[in-house]
Amino acid sequence: MTEGVEWALHSCLNLTWSEPGQAVSAARLAAFYQLPTAYLNKQLQALVRAGILSSTSGPRGGFRLARAPEAITMLDVVVAIEGAEEAFRCEQILRQGPGGRGDVDYRQVCLVSQAMRRADLAWRRELAGQTLADLRAAVEQRYPDTPGNTRDRLTAPLT
């Protein structure tokens, strides 16, 4: 998984604390964690294409959540950045091994492939079961100053 997933998740989480209706620029979101603006912008654009964020052009433009935090799962963000493919791709190497056969679909019968698919499914279920709202609530419980501090940083002049 690329660092873009981490950047996208943190940016989306930060946007949950932005003022209602406020668009936040890619430069401001990047400055929050000292990230390269151009690369973060690519991640943000992927989130726009996935319907997670909306964007507005112009001097007061930027990004905001396109849906309520309760309607955005962590899996939504991961898939927007990484794509929907499974993490493990069975290349059917058993076909070339001793006793391998060309007429067998080893993706279906290989125990390694089956174990990896089960793990991938469990990972996706876990991410699909946690929304930005859940994550926001957990952060607010553990770090109650975060919402206000984040809003302040998102509205402070860029230096």
Q: What does the DSSP assignment read for 111-122? A: HHHHHHHHHHHH
**Across all residues in the chain, what is the average pLDDT?**
94
Asked if pLDDT for residue 59 goes beyond 90, the answer is no
Cβ neighbours of 97 (radius 10 Å): 9
Max distance between CA atoms of the chain, in angstroms, equals: 67
Residues facing residue 24 across a β-bridge? 63
For 131, list phi and psi in degrees, rounded to 5: -95, 170
Asked if pLDDT for residue 45 goes beyond 80, the answer is yes
The crossing angle, in degrees rounded to 10, of helices 37-49 and 3-16 is 70
* Residue 11: per-residue pLDDT: 98
Q: What is d(CA 133, CA 73) in angstroms, rounded to the nearest whole number? A: 9
Q: What is d(CA 80, CA 89) in angstroms, rounded to the nearest whole number? A: 19
At CA 89, angle to CA 83 and CA 93, rounded to 5? 165
Q: What is d(CA 91, CA 89) in angstroms, rounded to the nearest whole number? A: 6
In this prediction, residue 40 has a pLDDT band, given cuts at 50, 70 and 90, of very high
- pTM of the predicted model, to two decimals? 0.89
* Residue 150: per-residue pLDDT: 95
Kindly report, residue by residue over 65-80, the tens digit of the pLDDT: 999 999 999 999 999 9
Residue 14 · residue 146 · CB < 8 Å: no
Q: Where are the alpha helices (DSSP H) in the chain?
A: 3-16, 26-32, 37-49, 74-82, 106-109, 111-128, 132-142, 146-155
Kindly report, residue by residue over 85-134, the tens digit of the pLDDT: 988 889 999 999 999 999 999 889 999 999 999 999 999 999 999 999 99
Asked if pLDDT for residue 159 goes beyond 80, the answer is no
